[in-house]
Amino acid sequence: MSDRSPRLGRSLARVAAMLGLFAGLSGVAGCDGRPRESTKTDAPAPKAGPQVAVLDLSAGLPEQEEAGFLGLSAPKKKTFWDFLNATEAIAKDPHVKGVFIRFGAATIPAAHAEEAADALLVIRKKGIPVHCHAEGLGNTTMIVAAQACTKIVIAPAGDVDTVGLAAQVVYLRKLLVEELKLSVDILQVGKFKGAEEPLTRDGPSDEARASLEGVLADLRQSWREAVRSGRPKEGIADAIEDGPYSPKAALGRGLIDEVGYSDDALKALEKLVNVERHRARFGGGASADGDDDEAIGELVRALAGDGPGDGPIALVRATGSISMGGGGGPFGGRDGITAKGLSRELAEVEKRDDIKALVLRIDSPGGSALASDLLWHDLMRIRAKKPIVVSVGEMAASGGYYLASTGNLIFADPMSIVGSIGVVGGKVGIGAALERFGVHAETFPAAKDKPGAASRAAYLSLLSSWDDPTKVRVLESMTAIYELFLARVAEGRKTTPDKIAPNAEGRIFSGREGKRLGLVDEIGGLREAVAKARELAKLPTDARVAVVGNSRPAFLDKLEGGGNEERVLSRAVGLDPVKLVEKTLPEVAPFMTSMLPLAEQERVVLATPFAIWVR
């Protein structure tokens, strides 16, 4: 019997017990629940024979699925990687005579939109009609629609919100310092970093303005070129910046082709290609052969704590802000990239001899300096054994670029954000604010006769501010981190710190500009990164990709005492502050979450200086 047999036996026993729990729960519930909605147009279709393939993008194109019950992934396949696989399968399927895309009113990140358009353009170039319907089109969904769609239809009560690109930065100094009387001790290394400016200034510095306006200008150029290349109508590049438009106005400017409803548009496509059925291939209603078996297999692997499935190429997705994870503060154990969680996945990739290459998909604004360096070490250890190809999604900025620098090659889309090599540190103190309400905090140092002892001993306390000697010490520590950052990037990129320095100091760049400066190796998306990984590992062009991640649900971590109990409780009652920010202020969520380690007893972060959210 193999070494895995006892473990498998225990796993199956746990599955049986869990299934018993499910049965018990269903028996206690004793209700039929709300019947599922069904429509004639979404009825299941045979999987063979002439058909229209339906891609539903109305839920967006997230990098990773949200965890479901017991931390298992949602049953429907709807991640960005799933979408790329679906489009590739459609392009090879001789039964597909037309493709129908439902956008709904989805918001899709710019870099995702670029690669989605490229994937769909492969289908369009085969002469297959691609018709698209939307309730609303925005700046980035227009990239997909313009390049991929042979016909664009908008709902009669819909809109086309192509209004041009912009970034907003909120400055809080007056509120925090003058009104609330908080002490703000935030320092930075890198004159272009600017991540502290929202807390310490009432407006941007010249350096921060130049950095932000520079990257926006390059993003705008890429955006206009993408739309114009797919929809070469006179004046289209100017039209996409003059919205919002009603459907009638958008039709008049050549942004869309027709006004109508989704079901009518689908029927019109079926009539055009002379087929009588359609099949959902991505999003709502989509399914694949063997889905039930795969779901059971996922449950077994998850409860057993097993790693990724079979495949010589491992795809690891690093999404969100970077933190140590596993408790340690009011926001401990939050979602995103944690040193604890990602390190576990990387260890699985490293030890498995059947995995020949790693594709690391990064979409991160940065975060904890400590976690970034620990994960950098894990990745470089893997790189010594097998090639790593990095694919940048929306951004690999600051701590995100720290991780990206470990790749043998870095791929990025033109509208990706890279760079932001700089350091921010500090804290916001509430002592002065409490004094206004009669609350006074006194620090008693043990070395009471030593000058500055109280300030140094309490420098982590939120009840006191920093004196000048403390600021000098903290800045020295931050400078050391900055120099380490430069050295790590230089080592990963096989160059020297002095070659990296001119593009550091907090500057951010588009993917296209990053390639010109040597921060990026190739312009391309996740598909191109996978193809290069196969090439570097000397594997066949169709070598299987095993998605690594979410193999161990949060449920089991909680049973083992991992995570943060307050955090779990806050989620249970709907008071999770991070999720609240992400839902209500998505534009600033990447910036705010990447700065959260400052509230978790860390004093140095590698965070992107601006909240740039192109939609």
Check residue 605 and give its pLDDT.
Answer: 85
Overall average pLDDT of the 479-494 stretch: 95
Same domain, 263 and 349: no
Q: What is the 3-state secondary structure (H, E, C) of 416-472?
A: CEEECCCEEEEEEECHHHHHCCCCCCCCCCCCCCCCCHHHHHCCCCCCCCCCHHHHH
Per-residue pLDDT tens over the stretch 287-301: 544 444 444 444 444
Check residue 445 and give its pLDDT.
Answer: 79
Helices then strands (H, E): number in the chain? 24, 20
User: Which of 282, 317, 343 represents a domain boundary (last residue)?
Assistant: 282
Does 37 fall in a domain? no
225, 239, 315: which is closest to 526 by C-alpha? 315
Check residue 552 and give its pLDDT.
Answer: 43
Per-residue pLDDT tens over the stretch 351-360: 999 999 999 9
Decide if pLDDT at 615 tops 70.
Answer: no
Same domain, 70 and 159: yes
Per-residue pLDDT tens over the stretch 436-462: 888 888 888 787 788 888 887 887 788
Check residue 564 and give its pLDDT.
Answer: 45
- Catalytic one of 92, 450, 499, 583: 450
Structure confidence at residue 598 as a pLDDT band (50, 70, 90): confident
Kindly report which listed range (54-58, 95-99, 270-274, 549-553) carries the lowest average pLDDT score: 549-553
Task: Decide which of 556 and 98 is more confident.
Answer: 98
Active site residue 398: yes
- Catalytic one of 262, 391, 398, 594: 398
Rg (CA), the chain: 26
Provide the 10 A C-beta neighbour count for residue 474: 20
Same domain, 220 and 334: no
Check residue 562 and give its pLDDT.
Answer: 45
Active site residue 551: no
Q: What is the mean pLDDT of the chain?
A: 82
Same domain, 250 and 360: no
Distances (CA, A) of 126 to 95, 290, 355: 13, 29, 34
Same domain, 232 and 325: no
Does 550 fall in a domain? yes
Kindly report which listed range (95-109, 187-201, 259-273) carries the lowest average pLDDT score: 187-201
How many domains is the chain built from? Answer: 2
Does 536 fall in a domain? yes
Same domain, 264 and 144: yes
Per-residue pLDDT tens over the stretch 551-594: 444 444 444 444 444 444 444 445 555 566 666 666 666 667 77
Same domain, 230 and 365: no
Strand partners of residue 423: 189
Does 288 fall in a domain? no
Same domain, 410 and 523: yes
Does 382 fall in a domain? yes
User: Which of 264, 282, 300 represents a domain boundary (last residue)?
Assistant: 282
In the numeric block, which tokens belong to residue 470? 């403390």
What CATH code is carried by the domain that includes residue 395?
Answer: 3.90.226.10
Task: Decide which of 565 and 262 is more confident.
Answer: 262
Same domain, 224 and 317: no
Alpha carbon distance 584, 444 (integer Å): 42
Decide if pLDDT at 55 tops 90.
Answer: yes
Same domain, 324 and 277: no
Check residue 370 and give its pLDDT.
Answer: 92
Per-residue pLDDT tens over the stretch 320-375: 999 987 544 444 445 689 999 999 999 999 999 999 999 999 999 999 999 999 99
Same domain, 482 and 345: yes
Does 577 fall in a domain? yes
For 239, the domain range is 43-167+213-282
Decide if pLDDT at 529 tops 80.
Answer: yes
Check residue 426 and give its pLDDT.
Answer: 83
User: Which of 265, 282, 299 represents a domain boundary (last residue)?
Assistant: 282
Per-residue pLDDT tens over the stretch 148-165: 999 999 999 999 999 998
Alpha carbon distance 288, 554 (integer Å): 26
In the numeric block, which tokens belong to residue 262? 């989704």
Does 15 fall in a domain? no
Check residue 58 and give its pLDDT.
Answer: 93
Check residue 336 and give its pLDDT.
Answer: 86
Name, of 21-30, 165-174, 382-391, 592-601, the range with top average pLDDT: 382-391
Same domain, 526 and 382: yes
Does 13 fall in a domain? no
Order of strands, sheet of 337-338, starting from the edge strand that comes earlier in the sequence: 183-189, 423-429, 604-607, 366-368, 322-323, 337-338
